[in-house]
Amino acid sequence: MLNKTIGQILPETAAKFGDKTALIFGNRTFSFAELDTLSNRVANGLTVMGIGPGDRVTLYAQNSWEWVVSYYGIAKTGAVLNPINVMLTPDEVGFVVKDCGAKALFTTADRAAPILKLKDETDLAEIVTFGAGAPAGAVAFDDLVENGKDDFKAAAVDAMTLGKICYTSGTTGFPKGAMLSHRNVVLNAAMTAAMNMRIADDVQLTALPCAHVYGAAIMNLCFLFGSTFVLMERFDAGEVMDAVQTHKATIMDGVPTMYFYMLAHPEFDKFNLSSLTRTVVGGQTMPVAKSEEWTSKVGIPMLELWGMTELAGPGIMQHSCGENRLGSAGIEMPYFRAKIVDPEDVTRELPNGEVGELMVSGSFVMMGYFGNEEATKEAIEPDGWLHSGDLAKMDDDGYIFMVDRKKDMILTAGYNIYPAEIERVIAGHAAVAMVGVGGKADAEKGEIAKAYVVLKPDGQATPDDIREHCREHLAAYKVPREVQIVADLPTTSTGKILRRELHTLDSEDQAAAE
């Protein structure tokens, strides 16, 4: 796996498994051979458009079979994959496309209209749309599939070269593009499979977005080892459990809230989940009580993991054959190292049991942030160790327990939200003088974002006005769930807002909750 590229995944597996079912999406079923051929047609179509090795291609759509085919078709050309969150607004898409210099973009017909202007404003040359009714100025995906040739030889690229750029919000409020090599991506998927003993006989089900590194790791490992991949368009507790019993899924991955919603489903006991042998959870810490409840009801372990965009997926996991130490994210994966250091002196490694910053190294670590040397230097030490930004502790057996976040990142149902990005948008409202954003505990989502807004002396705005302003500029999951108008904000002597003290301003009668 050390020298395999993303574009080599399907051809090699198709040669081995041929007509075996590779992908199930809704009512559609595809064999490995069919996926290989379809992605070849897409690759040929892109080549005709002038897309080749090193060009960046953005994927902006909900989970679908077309998304999967496009992913591997793009990879076969040697182009750099740029999967982005489907919840991003046109403005946010524009930032990413311009920042990475994308030459082509895949999306759905309904999302294409607001971003067609990017062809005039950026290096974007082509927009390919899934579904019927491609707007003028876009190319229909169906045309690529129908007109492309069946055979394509994957471009010869080195496994150590750039294969993927995944954007993650930065503390400056602007996204950063984590550069992942082909080795980062393929090796992470392979080792994720190894930790949970995922094999060709498995039927893997997930509703995780394929655009997210966790979802992508699961997708890639299925096509690496010949497992059947059951992909849901989006999460719905009843639909997911129905799919488990219909397809006799043996393993399922998700974020904690997915399991919360399933456990709370009024007809939970009516679904037959007996085919499952393992369930895996990541994205945020899983409460021990919920893991125990799941195991008591389903009869199988809940295996936790921890990962980062900058690692192409997981880095710490519970091993299926080891002790499932609840409350822990697990142990180091192969080809990966972790240590706990003094947050004020990263050269000092802390003894087991002490809380410090989690730092990681090894073959999963990204190449750096695209076009951002300063951010890269801040994240990766000269010796190659990457700052996770998370506080954790390690026990004497090497199990790692996540304690808190070093920075002010808010984690909402598995999505990373940075206060500075929301603050930057709210500060643009004409009535706002000052704003601070902090996290607030939430039983279902883990945390929600709450904005504390100081209006100008003559400013007129309600909490709903502020939230509506946010909706125009931010993806839905980034819009603060609560907004409170306040007289002032807690600050340091230099005027820096003390985000950790914002909660002292809480007043239920002033908050507008969704």
DSSP string, 258-308: HHHHHHT-TTGGGS--TT--EEEE-SSPPPHHHHHHHHHHHSS-EEEEEEE
Cβ(268)–Cβ(242) under 8 Å? no
Other C-beta atoms closer than 10 Å to the C-beta of 120 total: 8
- The reported pLDDT for the residue numbered 172 is 52
Q: Report pLDDT for 391.
A: 84
What are phi and psi for residue 164, nearest 5 degrees? -155, 140
Residues in the chain where the model's pLDDT stays below 70: 169-173, 404-407, 492-496, 507-514
CA distance 160 to 400: 29
- Predicted local distance difference test score (pLDDT) of residue 445: 87
| CA–CA separation, 61 and 50 (whole Å) | 22
Structural domains of the chain in order of their starting residue, each with its CATH number: 410-513 (3.30.300.30)
- In a 10 Å sphere around its CB, with 0-12 CB exposed, 13-18 middle and 19+ buried, how is residue 241 labelled? buried
Q: Where are the alpha helices (DSSP H) in 264-418?
A: 288-298, 373-379
pTM of the predicted model as reported, rounded to 2 decimal places? 0.83
Helix, strand, coil share (%) of the chain residues, nearest 5: 35, 30, 40
Number of H helices, E strands in the chain: 15, 28
Dump pLDDT digits (tens) for 482-498: 999 999 888 753 346 78
CA distances from 242 to 204, 208, 230, 255, 257 (A): 14, 16, 12, 18, 18
